[in-house]
Amino acid sequence: MKRQQTLDRFALDLIIAKTFQYNYFMINTMKAIYALTDILTLALKAGLLAHKSGAGTHRTSLIIQRTAKALGAVQVEVVISSTNIGATIEREHERETGFRKAPHMGVNFSLLTSLDDWLLALEKNPINAKDAQLALDKIAQAKVHYPRSVVTLFVGLSCGAFAALFGGDPAAILMTTLGASLGMAVRFQLVLHHFKPFVFASVASFVALFCTGLLRDFTSTPDTAMAASVLFLIPGVPLINGAADLLNANYLNGIVRFTMSAVIILGIAIGISLALRILGI
């Protein structure tokens, strides 16, 4: 009985030892087996996802570097401009360069979180590059958590909350929520039809301000309500990321993000001015 146990234990040890040896062997050889092109494709794909989901320049650059290095690249140089990302990766006597168009799309923090997890897993266990590729595709195709109608209502409520923070009365909060929800619904529709930011900002701000302005007789703080009703369009993430880029010594990208924000704010202003003229304020 006792002898049987010892034998079993010995067999188990042997299996564990073999597995480790095998894994060690795999890691050492597989790293070298990946073609540089495949490494670059995966790294650029990860970087593109980060860039499109609202990551700052610094974060996107880090993600590309870490992905390429985890898979065996020795030297990684990254270029991130406003609308392109690119990288050159090197290993011994090989060198590979690639670029991708990277339009600013929107913000998706769930995707950024999954991307972080994905990268950590890849760094811990780089032998599964094929799995990593599949996992990345899955992350890219993951659905957003919240249905559009819910987002529309809550963004409207956000603007109502802004009215409250600015000292508006309950009527002002209600009408701001209503106007901003309508504006947000319009914005979603226009974005779906691929209108440029300048166009959707002016149309959506017009709708939001016009609807809020029509109800202005119900409140004693109409100015607060109308100022808050267009705040859902203020490009908060580009503004913060732009300033962070400047402070982080990514001057060009910082200026580009600020300029993007300025164009959206100009669009909002045009919508506001049209609405105010029609309302006769």
- For 203-242, b where at least 16 C-beta lie within 10 A, e where not — what string? bbbbbbbbbbbebbeebebbebbbbbbbbbbbbebbbebb
**Distances in whole angstroms, Cα of residue 2 to Cα of each of 7, 13, 14, 51, 235:** 9, 17, 19, 61, 72
**Min separation Cβ 199 and other proteins, Å:** 17
36 or 80: CB nearest other proteins? 80
**Min separation Cβ 124 and other proteins, Å:** 12
CB-based contact 271:232 (threshold 8 Å): no
**Min separation Cβ 134 and other proteins, Å:** 21
Count of C-beta atoms within a 10 Å radius of residue 96: 18
The C-alpha angle 120, 124, 126, rounded to 5 degrees, equals 105
**Min separation Cβ 84 and other proteins, Å:** 22
244: three-class secondary structure by DSSP = helix
CB-based contact 224:172 (threshold 8 Å): yes
- For 180-196, b where at least 16 C-beta lie within 10 A, e where not — what string? bbbbbbbbbebeeeebe
- Listing DSSP states for 159-222 in one string gives HHHHHHHTT--HHHHHHHHHHHHHHHHHHHHHHHTT--HHHHHHHHHHHHHHHHHHTGGG-S-H
**Min separation Cβ 166 and other proteins, Å:** 6
3 or 143: CB nearest other proteins? 143
8 or 116: CB nearest other proteins? 116
33 or 105: CB nearest other proteins? 105
49 or 159: CB nearest other proteins? 159
30 or 269: CB nearest other proteins? 269
113 or 125: CB nearest other proteins? 113
Binding positions for other proteins, rule: CB under 8 A: 54-56, 58-59, 62, 107-113, 116-117, 120, 144-146, 150-151, 154-162, 164-167, 227-228, 230-232, 234, 236-237, 239-244, 246-248, 265, 268-269, 272-273, 276
DSSP, res 280: T
**Min separation Cβ 269 and other proteins, Å:** 4
**Min separation Cβ 123 and other proteins, Å:** 12
CB-based contact 72:40 (threshold 8 Å): no
